[in-house]
Structure 1
Amino acid sequence: MTLKATWYENDNRFIPGHWQPAVLVDLALSRGIDSHRLLRGTGLFHEDLQAGKARLCAQQFLQLIDNSERLLAAADTRFLFGQRLLPGYYGAASHALQHAADLSQALDIVCRYRALISPLLSPRVLLDEQNVYVYWLDTCGAGAQQRFLVESAMTALLAMSRWLAGAPLPWKVSIAQTRPRQVEQYWVNLGEDVRFDAPVDLLSLPREYLHQPWPAAAPTAGQAAQQQSMQQLQELGFDASLLDHLYRHLLANLRHQPQLENVALAFGMSPSTLKRKLHRHGTHFQEQLDLARKHMALYLYQIKGQSNEEVAAYLQFHDSTNLRRSFKRWTGLAPSALRQLWPCD
């Protein structure tokens, strides 16, 4: 089956400059950074952002992030940016978030309207009997800026949920990097329950908090805002990125051993075209396949509690030895170490 082409790529100019990019620009300007230096290499002018005329592609936004990190040279930049991101001032989608009835609805809005609310990262939500889990996917080839984006997104979700719930929620934070020297910034902005050296960047929370009513909920206004947001997506002609669609396709077809040729056919393009598009996003097919297999393996181990043999069978490995070797390559950990480092509580 051929998929309908409803995705964006990293050269599509659809991100309003006065939305998320302006948040970062204003943060940098407030710290004395010259606007010309800040926007160098982006093809943007501050006057266009102020006029609400500029539309950025992901490549331009990522260049802006790179400039900001380099010029500000401060450990708290990503966290301060994240604190300002949600609900944000992004039209109807932000209004829908502000009026959300509870965390469950807020997460649904963030995921459903991710092209509007989070164009550079795609949020994913999983549930088990005890917890809700949130993680993010690179949508446009963030490269060196992915760490900035993920930790900003984590900060944004924690700050928004604290504000709309009227109190901090007991989120647990897993960071897929070694403990940094300036760990205090993580404690201040993400809380003291932060685990480093995790196999994936992840937030988790007891699922009992999903449906606790939020005091500022406005169901009628929120529903109208969601309808307006859906209309905006329809006008854009897409709801997610190429990498997002590819990830979902691979995840759904792991038991059928997806190959470049049949995936390209499903996406209505030649294998060489798909390879070229992935290269332009700073990745390749095997990397994307390994990402989907890694996440599925973590899900089967951590949430479903499956054995090495069961996970190997699902992912079409010949035996559990090959799976363990691949899993260690994907995460730096053996499956047995995962259970010790990343308990399910």
Structure 2
Amino acid sequence: MTLKTDWYERDSRFIPGHWQPAVLLDLALSRGIDSHRLLRGSGLFHEDILSGQARLSPQQFLCLIDNSRRLLDADDSSFLFGQRLLPGHYGAASHALQQAANLQQALDILGRQRALLSPLLSPRLLLDERHAHIYWLDSCGAGAQQRFLLEASMTALVGMSRWLAGERLPWRASFSHAQPRYVEQYWVHLGENVQFAAPVDVLSIPREYLHRPWPGASAIAGQVAQQDSECQLAALGFRASLLDRLYGHLLAHIREPLQLEGVAQAFGMSPSTLKRKLQKHDSHFQEQLDLARKHMALYLYRVKGYSNEEVASYLQFHDATNFRRSFKRWTGLAPSALRQLLEGLG
């Protein structure tokens, strides 16, 4: 079966310049950075953004982020950017977020409207018996900007939920990178329950907070805003990126033998075309397959309580040694070390 090409790619120009890019521009301009230097290499001028007509590709947005990081050269840049991101001023999708009745509804909106609300990183929600976990997928090949975007995205969700809930929620943030020298910025913006050198980048919260009512929400206004935001997406013609769609396809077929040729056929293109598109996103097929296998393995350990043998079998590894070697390459941990870590988290 051929899948529809309902996705955006790294060079798709659809991000309104006066939305998320303008948030970053305003932050940099407030610190005295020249707009021409900020936009250098992006193919845009400040006047383009002010016109309200400019549409950026993810590649252009990533260029702006790279320029801003270097020119600001400040430890708090990503966190201050994140504080300003959500609900944002992005039309009906932002209105829908602002009228969310609870955290569950806000996360549902953020996921459905990710092309509008979070075009560079795709948020995903995973539930286990006691916790809700939100992790983000690289939508367009963020490369060196990945950590900046993760810090901003987690800060955005923590800040928005605190504002709409009217209280600080007990989030736990885990990052796969080592503890940075500016760890105090994490404590200030995300709380002190932050872990580094974790198997995956994830934000977690006890499940009972998902359905606690948020004050000030309007059910009617929220429903209308959600309908309008669906019209926004319909006008775009897509909801997610190519990498996001590929990840979903790989997860859905993770127990099958997955090869570049078969997956390319499912996406209605030749293997060489899929390979070229992945190269454009600074990735390759094996990297995307490993990512899906890594997340599925963590899910099976954490949520399903599978043994090493059961996880290896589920992922079609018929050699336990090869599975252990692959798992350590994916996460930096041996399966036994992961079990000890999960037991410590409770």
Normalised TM-score (structure 2): 0.99
C-alpha distance in structure 2 between counterparts of 1:148 and 1:82, whole Å: 9
User: Match for residue 264 of structure 2?
Assistant: 264
User: Match for residue 279 of structure 1?
Assistant: 279
**8 A Cα contact 1:62 1:142, kept in partner:** yes
C-alpha distance in structure 1 between counterparts of 2:192 and 2:244, whole Å: 31
User: Match for residue 306 of structure 1?
Assistant: 306
1:258 Cα deviation from its structure 2 partner: 1.1
Matched residue type, 1:163: W
Q: CA RMSD in A?
A: 0.8
The percentage of aligned residue pairs carrying the same residue is 74
1:255 Cα deviation from its structure 2 partner: 0.3
Deviations 1:154-201 (A, max 9, x none): 000000000000001001110111111121111111110001100110
1:305 Cα deviation from its structure 2 partner: 1.1
User: Match for residue 122 of structure 1?
Assistant: 122
SS of the aligned residue for 1:185 comes to helix
User: Match for residue 323 of structure 1?
Assistant: 323
Normalised TM-score (structure 1): 0.99
Deviations 1:109-159 (A, max 9, x none): 000000000000000000111010000000000010011111110000000
User: Match for residue 216 of structure 2?
Assistant: 216
Q: 2:162 matched to 1:177?
A: no
User: Match for residue 142 of structure 2?
Assistant: 142
1:337 Cα deviation from its structure 2 partner: 1.0
SS of the aligned residue for 1:256 comes to coil
User: Match for residue 28 of structure 2?
Assistant: 28
Which residues of structure 2 form unaligned runs of 5+? none
Q: 2:249 matched to 1:249?
A: yes
Matched residue type, 1:320: A
**8 A Cα contact 1:83 1:155, kept in partner:** yes
C-alpha distance in structure 1 between counterparts of 2:166 and 2:340, whole Å: 34
1:344 Cα deviation from its structure 2 partner: 4.3
SS of the aligned residue for 2:255 comes to helix
Which residues of structure 1 form unaligned runs of 5+? none
Q: 2:75 matched to 1:75?
A: yes
Alignment size in residue pairs = 345
C-alpha distance in structure 2 between counterparts of 1:110 and 1:181, whole Å: 31
C-alpha distance in structure 1 between counterparts of 2:154 and 2:208, whole Å: 20
C-alpha distance in structure 2 between counterparts of 1:45 and 1:54, whole Å: 10
Deviation beyond 3 Å, 4+ runs, structure 1: none
Higher deviation after alignment, 137-146 or 318-327: 318-327
**8 A Cα contact 1:98 1:216, kept in partner:** no
SS of the aligned residue for 1:204 comes to strand
Deviations 1:192-229 (A, max 9, x none): 00011001100110000000000021111101111111
Matched residue type, 1:330: W
1:298 Cα deviation from its structure 2 partner: 0.6
SS of the aligned residue for 1:43 comes to coil
User: Match for residue 60 of structure 1?
Assistant: 60
User: Match for residue 86 of structure 1?
Assistant: 86
